[in-house]
């Protein structure tokens, strides 16, 4: 109960940054129990962050319960970045146009033409020779 009273005192203080932190702490803590020692540790970490002087550290400081050891931001200088997906055809170094495609446009077109030709010749095998000749003459 003493910890709740301490949070209430911080909320009624004149310092806007501390009030924001206390409100965030109370919101994230919710119904979970916490002791005076836990609260004081977080207040000390908060004070260190606020007095650090850096703008990034101050932005982190406003998030309750997060100390120096657990930053909540992701670094912007990610050297790896987004990797371009390569075509699945062997010896093809092209990049696919859309991330969920497996083949580049050229390889996909050639595969589609090949499969269409195979399906068409298989379908023609079922047509009687006289009918094929008749259709050829008509064209």
Given a contact cutoff of 8 angstroms between Cβ atoms, the answer to whether 72 and 28 are in contact is: no
- 60 pLDDT band (50/70/90 cuts)? low
Evaluate if pTM is beyond 0.75.
Answer: no
Q: Is 95 helix (H, G, I), strand (E, B) or coil?
A: strand
Residue 116 has what pLDDT? Answer: 67
pLDDT of residue 68: 46
74 pLDDT band (50/70/90 cuts)?
low
Mean pLDDT of the chain: 75
**Longest CA span, the chain:** 99
Q: What is residue 101's three-state secondary structure?
A: coil
**136: pLDDT confidence band, cut at 50, 70 and 90?**
confident
Q: Are 43 and 11 in contact (CB under 8 A)?
A: no
Average pLDDT for residues 111-123, to the nearest whole number?
Answer: 71
Per-residue burial over 18-49, b if 16 or more Cβ lie within 10 Å, else e, is: beebbeebeeebeeeeeeeeebeebbebbeeb
Between 66 and 16, the more confident residue is: 16
Confidence band, pLDDT 50/70/90 cuts, at residue 67: very low
* Average confidence (pLDDT) over 35-41: 82
pLDDT, mean of residues 13-38: 81
């Amino acid at each position: 109960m003493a910890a709740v009273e301490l949070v209430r005192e911080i909320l009624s203080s004149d310092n806007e940054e501390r009030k924001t932190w206390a409100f965030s702490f109370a919101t994230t803590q919710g119904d979970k129990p916490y002791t005076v020692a836990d609260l004081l540790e977080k207040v000390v970490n908060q004070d260190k962050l606020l007095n650090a002087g850096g703008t990034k550290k101050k932005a982190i400081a406003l998030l309750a319960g997060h100390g120096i050891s657990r930053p909540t931001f992701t670094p912007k200088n990610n050297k790896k970045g987004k990797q371009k997906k390569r075509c699945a055809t062997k010896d093809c170094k092209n990049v696919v146009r859309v991330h969920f495609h497996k083949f580049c446009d050229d390889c996909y077109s050639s595969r589609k033409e090949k499969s269409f030709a195979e399906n068409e010749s298989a379908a023609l095998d079922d047509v009687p020779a006289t009918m094929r000749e008749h259709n050829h003459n008509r064209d």
